[in-house]
Structure 1
Amino acid sequence: MRFLFKTSYDQDIDLFRHNGQRFWYALLLLALLAAPWWLESYGLSQLSLMLIYSVVGLGLMLLSGYTGQFSMGHGGLLGIGAYAQAVMNAQGWPFVLSIPLAGMLAAAVGVLFALPALRVKGIYLAIATLSVGFIIEEVLARGEPVTGGNSGKMVSRPQAFGWTLEGERPFYFLCLAVTLICLWGVVNLLRSPTGRAFVAVRDSEVSAQCMGIHLARTKTLAFAISALLTGVGGALYAHFITFLTPDSFGILHSIDLLLLITIGGLGSLHGAFLGAVFLVAAPQLISQAKDLLPDHIAQAPGLKSAVYGLVLIGFVMFEPRGLYGRWLKIRTWLQLFPFYRRGLFARQKSYQKSERLK
């Protein structure tokens, strides 16, 4: 196993814990930068979708995984960002301005989500955010002069200063750049006093309040930042699907986003990316598996939902920490082999949440 001995303050504030992390993350970044040259157009578009969902997953992970606030209305916030980007893009706004502004508009709406969070929690908070999501969907359907209503709205390619991002390759690099910026911001936020306040509220609201943390301000800020990231992801998502309808941002999309962070691993930024990979890759794997199944099963209309439900039940029962939690156990087993002990991970339950979910 690796033991870290920090001898300077610079080591403590470094984004990377050790040189091994720096090497593997640099290798991953090089692979992503080289992806347009070793992936075909379809594979590159799917990778772009993974990056978009990663941005949205970072926002929801910050809210649910690190602040402990449950939301079932983020599909509506995704729609706010998408429609805002579509309107500004149609008016000729450059994407370097329209994408942040779409996120800010979603953040303003996200503050409305925070209002019920100040008074309720648990299942009641889920119902309250679900209601706000339904309201957003209805507003998008009724605002025909701006959103096109149920008839939908076309979205053209991103443009800036007379330059249009045509093709999959430029759009992929835009998604990659936005993802890296959002990841850098979230990592630094979690290391700041604000991020530590988020974790304190998640672990115990009473203890956090006793430590001087303002609960209302902290929860409102968490919802706003989460909505900001979701709106930015929605702006990119609008250019990806190129045609927007209100029912594309309803309860089913919100459930998919919750599935993303749950299967990826709550309380981990890695989990947001692993969950995005699952959310994009799972439909492809299901469609390929249909060829191996009997016709009466392969053609069943609820096959995808059934598979998602079984996978979610399996993770909740056998691996609550998600894909990233499973990877941590595999990595620890490899580091300790052949001295691994069977009951090593059973003792994790005695730790605080902030110690387990790193």
Structure 2
Amino acid sequence: MRFIFKTDYDQDVRLAKHGGHVFWYGLLLLFLLASPWLLPEYWLAQLTFVLIYSVVGLGLMLLAGFTGLFSIGHAAFLGVGAYTQAVLSNMGWPFPLSLACAGLLSAAVGVVVGLPALRVKGIYLGIATLSFGFIVEEVLARWESVTGGNGGMHVKEPSIGAWKLDSGEEFYYLCLVVTVLSTLAIVNLLRSPTGRAFVAIRDSEISAQSMGIHLARYKTLSFALSAALAGLGGALYAHKIQFLSPDQFNIVQSIDLLLMVVIGGLGSVHGAFLGAIFLITMPQLIALGKDVLPPVIGQAPGLQAVVYGGVLIVFVLFEPMGLYGRWLKVRTFFSMFPFYRRGMFKRQKSFQKSDRLK
């Protein structure tokens, strides 16, 4: 196990705490930069979807994992960002400007949705966000003059000036840049007083309020930032699939997004990326398993929903800290072998809840 002996105040400011972080994250970045030459076109497209859902997952992780406010209608923000980007791009707006407008409009909608969070919480907040998701889906379906209604609308290719990003490799690099910038923004936000206020609200609203944290302001800000990131992800999603319809942003999509952060690991930035990988690769694994299973099971229409539900139940019962929590346990086991004990994380969780997933 690595113990860091700090001798300089700059060590608290650095994002990379030690040389191992620099090495492994640098290696990951090199792989992502070289992916267009290393991966076939199909898997590069899947990796692009992983990056897009990671941006959305970062926003939902900020809201649910770090502020403790659950949203069951987060696909609505994804849809607002996607349709804003589609409408502005079809009008000829440059990609950076339309992307900024998609994020800002989604943030404004997030502020409106965040208002019920000031008076309700828990399951009641979930019902409020679920209702908002139904409202947005219905608006997208009925506002035919702008969204095209149930007939859908096509999305033009993104362009920056005279440069059109019409290839999968170029769009992949665009998604990579947006994902890296969003990740750096979230990591730095969580180290700031605002991020610490979010964590304090998650752990205990009464304690946070007694320390002078304005609950209404920070809850609304959390909803706005989460919705903005979902809007950015929706803008990239619109260009990737190039066709939008209201049924793409229904309750099932919202549940998938919530499933992504729960299985990835609530309260960790890494969990947003692990959950996105799970969300994209699981349908591929289910499709491969259909050839092995008997036809009665493999061809059943609800097989994917059953598998998703079973996986979620397993994680909630046996690994509530998600994939990233399991990785921490595996890493600690090999670092402390043969002195590792099963109850180590249970004891740590009881008195160090805010720091256990750093």
Q: Return the TM-score normalized by structure 2.
A: 0.99
Determine the C-alpha separation between the residues in 2 that align with 1:148 and 1:268.
38
Determine the C-alpha separation between the residues in 1 that align with 2:234 and 2:182.
13
Where in structure 2 are the equivalents of 1:32-51 lying within 5 Å?
A: 32-51=32-51
Where in structure 2 are the equivalents of 1:51-66 lying within 5 Å?
A: 51-66=51-66
**8 Å contact 1:264–1:271 — kept in the other structure?**
yes
Determine the C-alpha separation between the residues in 1 that align with 2:67 and 2:22.
28
Where in structure 2 are the equivalents of 1:82-231 lying within 5 Å?
A: 82-231=82-231
Determine the C-alpha separation between the residues in 2 that align with 1:86 and 1:162.
18
Deviations 1:217-258 (A, max 9, x none): 000000000000000000000011111000100100000000
Matched position secondary structure for 1:260:
helix
**8 Å contact 1:71–1:125 — kept in the other structure?**
yes
User: C-alpha displacement at 1:348, in angstroms?
Assistant: 2.6
Matched position secondary structure for 2:290:
helix
User: C-alpha displacement at 1:349, in angstroms?
Assistant: 3.4
Report the residue type matching 1:90 in the other structure. N
Matched position secondary structure for 1:292:
coil
**8 Å contact 1:93–1:160 — kept in the other structure?**
no
Give % identity: 67
Determine the C-alpha separation between the residues in 1 that align with 2:345 and 2:83.
46
Report the residue type matching 1:141 in the other structure. A
Question: What is residue 339 of structure 1 aligned with on the other side?
Answer: 339
Report the residue type matching 1:209 in the other structure. Q
Deviations 1:28-80 (A, max 9, x none): 00000000001111110000000000000000000000000010111011000
Determine the C-alpha separation between the residues in 2 that align with 1:346 and 1:107.
37
Matched position secondary structure for 1:26:
helix
Report the residue type matching 1:292 in the other structure. V
Q: Which range moved further: 269-278 or 15-24?
A: 15-24
User: C-alpha displacement at 1:98, in angstroms?
Assistant: 1.0
Residue 18 of structure 2 is aligned to residue 7 of structure 1: no
**8 Å contact 1:52–1:237 — kept in the other structure?**
yes
Residue 206 of structure 2 is aligned to residue 244 of structure 1: no
Determine the C-alpha separation between the residues in 1 that align with 2:268 and 2:221.
19
Residue 331 of structure 2 is aligned to residue 325 of structure 1: no
Matched position secondary structure for 1:182:
helix
Determine the C-alpha separation between the residues in 2 that align with 1:270 and 1:75.
21
Determine the C-alpha separation between the residues in 2 that align with 1:337 and 1:175.
40
Matched position secondary structure for 1:104:
helix
Report the residue type matching 2:55 in the other structure. V
Residue 31 of structure 2 is aligned to residue 31 of structure 1: yes
Report the residue type matching 1:356 in the other structure. R
Q: How many residues align?
A: 358
Matched position secondary structure for 1:291:
coil
Report the residue type matching 2:143 in the other structure. G
Deviations 1:87-125 (A, max 9, x none): 011011111111121011100001111111000000000
User: C-alpha displacement at 1:17, in angstroms?
Assistant: 1.2
Report the residue type matching 2:13 in the other structure. I
Where in structure 2 are the equivalents of 1:302-313 lying within 5 Å?
A: 302-313=302-313
Determine the C-alpha separation between the residues in 1 that align with 2:255 and 2:310.
14
Q: Return the TM-score normalized by structure 1.
A: 0.99
**Structure 2: tracts of 5 or more residues without a match:** none
Question: What is residue 348 of structure 1 aligned with on the other side?
Answer: 348
**Structure 1: tracts of 5 or more residues without a match:** none
Determine the C-alpha separation between the residues in 2 that align with 1:189 and 1:343.
32
What do you get for the CA RMSD once the two structures are aligned?
A: 0.8
Determine the C-alpha separation between the residues in 1 that align with 2:229 and 2:184.
12
Determine the C-alpha separation between the residues in 1 that align with 2:355 and 2:43.
37
Determine the C-alpha separation between the residues in 2 that align with 1:234 and 1:343.
41
Question: What is residue 298 of structure 1 aligned with on the other side?
Answer: 298
Matched position secondary structure for 2:31:
helix
User: C-alpha displacement at 1:340, in angstroms?
Assistant: 2.0
User: C-alpha displacement at 1:342, in angstroms?
Assistant: 3.5
